[in-house]
Structure formats: C-alpha cells, structure tokens
Structure 1
C-alpha cells in the first residue's frame, strides 16, 4: 500500500501561517488568515484619524469578542485537527469568531444605525456628492460577509480547524455582535455615551460622535470646498 502523500508546507514570511506552496488556493487562504491583524490596524488608524466614538466602541467590542474566545477555548479544551502546526485549542475558531463579529457589526451599523442627515433632507448635499444609498450600504455589508465567509472557510482548507470549530466560531461571533450592538444602543439611548464624551479625558482626546449621522465621504469635504472657493475669490 503506497504511503499517503504529505505536501511540504511553507511558512508565509513573518506570519508563520503554514500553507502548501504548490497550491494557489492555499496561498490565498494564508493571506486571508492575516485579515484580523489587518483589521486591527484599520481600527487603530481610524480611531487615531477620526476620534469617532462609534469606531472606538466597535474596536472595544472586537477586543471583548477576542477575550470571549480566549475563555471559551480554555473551557471547551478541544484540540485542533491532527497533523497541524497551530498551537493551542481549536474550539471555537478565533479567526472565524473575529470576522463574524466584524462583518455583522459592519452590517448592523450601515443598515440600522447609520442614518446620514443629508439622506433625510436635513442637510444640503454638496456639489458632486451624495450620501450612500441603502443599496450601496447593503452591497458593502454583503461584501464584508463574503470576505468573512472566505476567511472562515480558509481555516478549514488550511486544516487549522474542523468544520465544527469554525461553525462554533461564526456562531459565537454573530451572537456577540448582536449583544454588543444592543448594549451600545442602550448606551446611546440612555445618554451614557453622550455623558462619557463630555468627560475631560474624552474632550482632551477630542472624541466625537458624528459618523452615525454624517455621511461616510463627507467629513471635512465641505470645509475643503469652502476653503478652495474662498482662495479662488
């Protein structure tokens, strides 16, 4: 009986994500494994550049979701699939839980919480621009879900997790995203968020809460247009 073929695995530089160098899908999956790290960089960049309370809350929820995954893995203590190089427990998949939380949180924000004033006729629409339509926000939300699904599936393809472990991670991420959305909505409706933004540390950091009603592409654009017009005159 011939020995079962075992591919020689390579490690993606810096990240140590193991993949089959002869398989382009395996390479793509290795890059998808970097999505959580990339999203953390995006979170940090947006927080630093915009000082938006909504993004701060989203990142806090993302970190809390990771903490939940850490606890669940040590409670369940289920090993990863055999012949895998990953360390630690595998149930639930942290990658799947991370991207599930991110994608559903993004969709809930764009489709439920985000209500730009200009789309409701309460602010002028600047020349050559307009707020995102519901169809556009739905398209972005679906794109986020598609990327999250590909990332979750990649963990199975690379043999870092079983299908059950990935499904558990996705479920945990979705449930926690819903819980976090409700919790932050309560903070908004009860005035606790508005109170927190007025505290000295928040004012010192110039935390603001405009993105819920401000169009995604508008921030600073009108000021820039006014400045150019004034300069031209």
Structure 2
C-alpha cells in the first residue's frame, strides 16, 4: 500500500491576513495554475494608490499634466513667474521712483566719493580738503539764514532752501575730485574725459533735488555755484600760502591736523544723529 505523500503548507503572514480560508483547507495545486493571491492584489492596489498620490502632488505643485505636458506646464509657469517678478520690480522702481531712491542715497554717494579720494591721497592737501568741506557746510547754513528763501510747496521741509546745501556740497566734492585726477594723471585726454564724467555725475545728483521738488532751479544753481567757487578758492589758498606755512611751521601743522580730526569726528556724530534718523 503506497502512502500518500504529505504536502506541508506553511502559512505566511500575508496569507493569514488576507486569505478567507482556514489553514486546514489549503489544497496542493500546480504552480503554473496558481491564481493571483489577494496579497498580490492588495500590493498592486497599494502601488497604484501610491503612484496616483504622487501624480496628484505633482499636479498640485506644477499645475497638472503628465509627462512632457507636465514639464512644459512647469517651464511655462516658471517663465511666467520670472517675467511677473521683473515686471513688478520695474513697476516698483517707476512707482516709488528710481530718481527718488538716488536722491535719498546722494548724500551717501558724495560722502563715499569724498572719503575715497581722501584715503587715496592721504596727504596734507587731503587734510585741508576735510577742513574745507566743513567750512563749506557752515557757509551754506549762514547763507540760508541770510536769504531765508522758502522751498517749493511740494516739499514737507520747513528750513530755507537758498542755496541748496546738497548742491553746494556736491560741487565742492566735484572740484576736489577733478583737481585730484588732474594732479594724478596730468592734463590729457583721459583725465579730461574722467573729469567730464565726474562733473556730469555731480550735475545729475544736483538736478535730482529739483526733480523731487526739494529745491527750485535757482536754489540748486546758487548752491552749485557757491560750492564750485568756494572749492576753487579753498584749494587755491592751499597752493598760494597754506602749504608753505604747513611745511615751515610745526604749530600750523598741529592746528590743521587737530582741526581736521575734530571735523571728522563732528561729521561722524552728525551722520549718526541725522542721516540714520532720516533713513
């Protein structure tokens, strides 16, 4: 009598979880006819669900679409975002005013140029220029009190506007920068072009005071003229008699250096108290 071979069926976790049949009801069948189990069915369902969720996230992030359509939509969305950003930046500059921003920064630009020339020269005449800038500012305050001319109606500032202190300071710095370039390079084509650019830059910054309604044309022109003339006189006095006294007299050197140091300190305090407050 032949014994029937025992077929062992070892249950797995998935078969226990998903199979509706009891363990003792499992029957041996051929492998090639074995149907798809419910574990495989649920596994494929889970994979399909995961894939669908991924597609939904991708569609929500990039505006939908599959394959090349999704990539094209994504690229179009990014290009539109860049264009919109540039348009907003340009419209912001035009609405808020590029000239208004440059006008607010003009005092910082002039101070930076003046400081750069001082550090580049680092000589006795540079010290004299520091003193000249302070005297020029004091002269502007005195002239404003003498003329006591109101600013344009569009401005909210109540202090007098004649002459323009910005124009006066700008053109004092312009003359100093041009003279420094000529002393450095001599009189040639390059120095003339560079001097013309410096003059044009200073003129533009001065004109911004008119375009922003802070001064009238006459106030700006008067400030520029006073700054230009005073700067010429100040540096002429250096070459005429101050330089000789500075070299020959120790007391003159001490006085000039101490006065220049005090001027720098006073200017720093003024910037902290007023310029940063305005910003």
Using a 3 Å threshold, how does the CA distance of structure 1 residues 52 and 87 change in structure 2: closer, same or farther? farther
Map of 1:220 onto structure 2: none
Using a 3 Å threshold, how does the CA distance of structure 1 residues 31 and 196 change in structure 2: closer, same or farther? farther
Matched, 1:194 2:265: no
Map of 2:234 onto structure 1: 180
Q: How far off is 1:141 after superposition?
A: 1.2
- Cα distance between partner residues in 2 of 1:88 and 1:53: 35
Structure with larger RCO (C-alpha < 8 A, sep 6+): 1
- Cα distance between partner residues in 2 of 1:200 and 1:108: 22
Aligned residues of 1:99 and 1:152 also touching (Cα < 8 A) = yes
Map of 2:133 onto structure 1: 62
The structure that is helix-richer by fraction is 2
Aligned residues of 1:69 and 1:92 also touching (Cα < 8 A) = yes
Aligned residues of 1:92 and 1:168 also touching (Cα < 8 A) = yes
Q: What does 1:150-229 align with in structure 2 at a 5 Å threshold?
A: 150-187=204-241, 191-195=244-248, 201=254
Unaligned runs of 5+ in 2: 1-90, 261-279
Aligned residues of 2:114 and 2:177 also touching (Cα < 8 A) = no
| TM-score normalised by length of structure 1 | 0.60
Q: How far off is 1:182 after superposition?
A: 1.4
- Cα distance between partner residues in 1 of 2:170 and 2:126: 16
Using a 3 Å threshold, how does the CA distance of structure 1 residues 177 and 48 change in structure 2: closer, same or farther? closer
Q: What does 1:51-200 align with in structure 2 at a 5 Å threshold?
A: 51-111=122-182, 114=183, 134-187=188-241, 191-195=244-248
Q: How far off is 1:173 after superposition?
A: 1.0
Q: What does 1:17-28 align with in structure 2 at a 5 Å threshold?
A: 23=94, 26-28=97-99
Using a 3 Å threshold, how does the CA distance of structure 1 residues 177 and 83 change in structure 2: closer, same or farther? same
Q: How far off is 1:160 after superposition?
A: 0.2
Unaligned runs of 5+ in 1: 1-19, 117-130, 208-233
- Cα distance between partner residues in 2 of 1:45 and 1:144: 14
Aligned residue pair count: 168
- Cα distance between partner residues in 2 of 1:195 and 1:26: 53
| TM-score normalised by length of structure 2 | 0.51
**Structure of higher CA gyration radius:** 2
Q: How far off is 1:150 after superposition?
A: 0.4
Q: How far off is 1:33 after superposition?
A: 4.0
Q: How far off is 1:134 after superposition?
A: 2.2
Using a 3 Å threshold, how does the CA distance of structure 1 residues 149 and 50 change in structure 2: closer, same or farther? closer
